[in-house]
Amino acid sequence: MSREALHESLSAVMDNEADELELRRMLAGDNPELRATWSRYQLARAAMHKELIEPRLDIAAAVSAALADEAAPAQPRRSGWKGLGRLAVAASVTVAVLAGVRLYNQNEVAGPQLAQQAAQPSISVPQASQGSTVLAGYSEGQAEVPAQTAADSAPIERWHEERLPSYVRQHAQQAAFGSGSESALPYARAASMEER
């Protein structure tokens, strides 16, 4: 793709006119100049929307990394790619951007901006319920939870499924109540383990 064409695609992405495939193609290539441009565009758009953006964050790189990770599982299943694959890509792009926002939020600014940016994840939540790939992407890549689904190895996985909830609960209880007084944090952790 020529430089002109690339930058044209970039504008299209910024105007939400491009699809994920286009974004994927653009950011997958190792083109620092293009990424820099994308970051600048992002910044400009943020300024227009009166959003606060941390200029140091290379969100383009994060998105690019998310796309690279996504490529592997998407390849072998040509058939499912159109549906789930697209959602997965879209979700992890959102996550990469969100991760940047979160990082920035740790510097703690005023409430309104926070609320405004926090509104983003709700867009991806419906998608998250559609498949395990999407969920794994949504959890910022930490949940490299066993890729084996229940269908793959049911009897073997059952062993863990029957025990893990009880183990986790016992650990959380000990942490929360086993050591005299502490802050309410371990209690909240224990309570959160009870949710289904």
**Contact footprint for another protein (CB under 8 A):** 99, 102-103, 106, 108, 139-140, 142-146, 153, 156-157, 159-160, 162-175, 177-195
Minimum gap (Å) between residue 149 Cβ and another protein:
13
Q: Note whether 77 and 49 are within 8 A (CB).
A: no
- Whichever of 56 and 78 has its CB closer to another protein, that residue is 56
- Whichever of 29 and 178 has its CB closer to another protein, that residue is 178
Minimum gap (Å) between residue 134 Cβ and another protein:
13
Minimum gap (Å) between residue 1 Cβ and another protein:
32
Amino acid of residue 110: A
Minimum gap (Å) between residue 165 Cβ and another protein:
8
- Whichever of 47 and 109 has its CB closer to another protein, that residue is 109
b/e map of 63-90 (b: 16 or more CB within 10 Å)?
A: bbebbeebeebbeeeeeeeeebbbbbbb
CA gap 37, 159 in Å, rounded: 51
- Whichever of 2 and 181 has its CB closer to another protein, that residue is 181
Query: How far, in Å, are 37, 51, 91, 102 from residue 117 at the CA level?
Result: 22, 8, 16, 9
Minimum gap (Å) between residue 143 Cβ and another protein:
5
- Whichever of 47 and 145 has its CB closer to another protein, that residue is 145
